[in-house]
């Protein structure tokens, strides 16, 4: 019988926040680390179906800024976790756990960064800055969510030509399967290999424009998807 990992994940999140809350009394133990997170509850009342409450998303973010060569980042998420259903009462027996991002940034200088691990693929601006449910107007467009690989597990190189305008070039490569992918019932497909890039002539608080391209091989299929 497969054990549900979600309760352990919830305990882990609670422990991290307790440690972070007491960091000021630990002689700067967490000075170079940041811990944050959020939870998204969803209620449903449908015709002919029982009323239900579900924990749609419970996320934890852990980031460190140790040196130019050690800048780890972790985003872990528990999702689709039923909490209560009419006629059944409280529930806490199902759920999914995924590592959304896990990488380290090697900062050679202000202009050049190498990222190794699992990260968001820069297929467009909104895949990088999406913030649902924190910001309702910043969701992934349907065209990017279903047409291309939203994540890549491998290498990403970024060169900034101009820090003031945000002019930059990004190239990334996933040689094999994605690490810790979401289940196929919540994500349309998985990818074996991914290669892509993004050129950003301008990006700041006033506006953004750029162009991105990606070529991805669909897992367990002869299909290859190219997006621009």
For 174-206, the pLDDT digits (tens) are 998 888 887 766 566 888 899 999 999 998 877
State which of 72, 102, 132 marks the end of a domain. 102
Average pLDDT for 5-23: 56
What does the pLDDT look like over 21-52, one tens digit per residue? 555 555 555 678 888 888 888 887 777 777 87
Is pTM beyond 0.95? Reply is no
Q: Which long-range contacts (CB under 8 A, 24 or more apart) does 132-137 make?
A: 133/38, 133/40, 133/56, 133/57, 134/38
In a shared domain, residues 125 and 18: no
In a shared domain, residues 115 and 96: no
In a shared domain, residues 96 and 112: no
Q: Tell me the residue range of the domain where 77 lies.
A: 1-102
In a shared domain, residues 86 and 154: no
């Amino acid at each position: 019988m497969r054990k549900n990992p979600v309760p352990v994940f919830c305990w882990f999140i609670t422990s991290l926040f307790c440690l972070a809350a007491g960091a000021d009394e630990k002689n700067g133990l967490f000075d170079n680390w940041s811990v944050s997170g959020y939870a998204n509850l969803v209620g449903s009342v449908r015709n002919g179906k029982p009323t239900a409450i579900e924990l749609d998303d419970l996320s934890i973010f852990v980031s460190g800024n140790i040196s130019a060569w050690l800048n780890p980042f972790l985003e872990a998420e528990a999702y689709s976790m039923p909490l209560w259903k009419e006629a059944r009462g409280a529930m806490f027996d199902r759920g999914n756990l995924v590592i959304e991002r896990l990488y380290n940034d090697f900062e050679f200088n202000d202009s050049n960064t190498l990222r190794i691990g699992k990260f968001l693929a820069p297929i467009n601006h909104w895949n990088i800055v999406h913030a649902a449910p924190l910001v309702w107007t910043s969701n992934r467009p349907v065209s990017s969510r279903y047409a291309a690989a939203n994540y890549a597990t491998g290498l990403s190189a970024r060169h900034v030509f101009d820090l003031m305008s945000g002019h930059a070039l990004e190239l990334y490569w996933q040689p094999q399967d994605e690490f810790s992918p979401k289940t196929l019932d919540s994500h349309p497909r998985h990818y074996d290999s991914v290669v892509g890039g993004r050129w950003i002539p301008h990006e700041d608080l006033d506006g953004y424009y750029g162009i991105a391209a990606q070529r991805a091989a669909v897992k367990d299929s002869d299909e290859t998807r190219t997006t621009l």
